[in-house]
Chain A
């Protein structure tokens, strides 16, 4: 089939960064970042199939400072993607698509993600104290 000459949209850099576009690209970035979450879960669960010692080692890795930082990041990525995913579902119903709603739901979504992240991390450390 002959290739048609199609108009090109303006390139990305001509736009000033805006809350709408930033929140949108972070949704994709968190989604891609959760690939690491899947790999961490796979490592952690699979280690249990090699016995108590292997699983204990995995728990030490998770509890190391770098492990903790990665887990905090993954928790935030998970809740950001979840919160913004719910925002996308609202849009899929055809509502909240005007500019002021897009902005306000954006702020609510980020706040929800932060609250859920802090609550989850606090619950995790609560377990350590017993």
Chain B
């Protein structure tokens, strides 16, 4: 049975209105997050019980700060896209759904800014 209208098929955007771009970006960030997550988990075990001086020393060593910023960016990008899909699937009231998706996307940017600022302050702060 043909489930899609001819217009819908010609547009090729699917039910959420943005085609496969979202799907593709979610996979891109997932690929980046495989090595980043393994690094992140290993790095965090080294900071258990650390004081601020040890944390600053860690952040200043090698590429730790860069990797942490990449982890935060890729992670929040992936998080906002994943949560968007969950909201699209389960929240059927359009106003609530759109509001929640906007909130998630803005929260992702806010959280990225807070975390990246914190990392930069560790490295460059007094």
| A side interface size, CB within 8 A | 41
In the complex the two chains form, is A46's CB within 8 Å of B41's CB?
A: no
Contact A35 B41 (CB under 8 A): no
Q: Is the interface of B mostly helix, strand, loop or mixed?
A: helix
Beta-carbon contacts of B65-98 to A below 8 Å, as 1s and 0s? 0000000100110010011001000000000000
Instruction: Specify which chain A residues have a CB less than 8 angstroms from the CB of B50 in the assembled complex.
Output: 59
Residues of B within 8 A of A120 (CB): 41-42, 45
CA distance A116 to B30 in the complex (A): 18
**Residue on A nearest B76 in the bound complex, by CB:** A38
Do A56 and B52 have beta carbons less than 8 Å apart? yes
List residues of chain B with CB under 8 Å of any chain A CB.
Answer: 1, 3, 5, 7, 27, 30-31, 33-34, 37-38, 41-42, 44-53, 55, 72, 75-76, 79, 82-83, 86, 111, 114-115, 117-119, 121-122, 125
Give the contacts of A84-130 with B (CB-CB under 8 A): 85-86, 88-89, 92, 116, 120, 123-128
Interface string of A47-91 (1 = CB under 8 A from B): 011011001100100110000000000010011001001101100
Q: A85-B30, A120-B45 given as contacts; is B119 within 8 A of A28 (CB)? A: no
Q: Are B114 and A46 in contact (CB under 8 A)?
A: yes
> Could you list some 18 contacts between A and B, CB below 8 A?
A1-B5, A4-B5, A6-B3, A31-B82, A34-B79, A38-B76, A39-B111, A42-B111, A45-B115, A46-B115, A52-B51, A59-B50, A82-B37, A86-B34, A89-B31, A124-B48, A127-B45, A127-B49
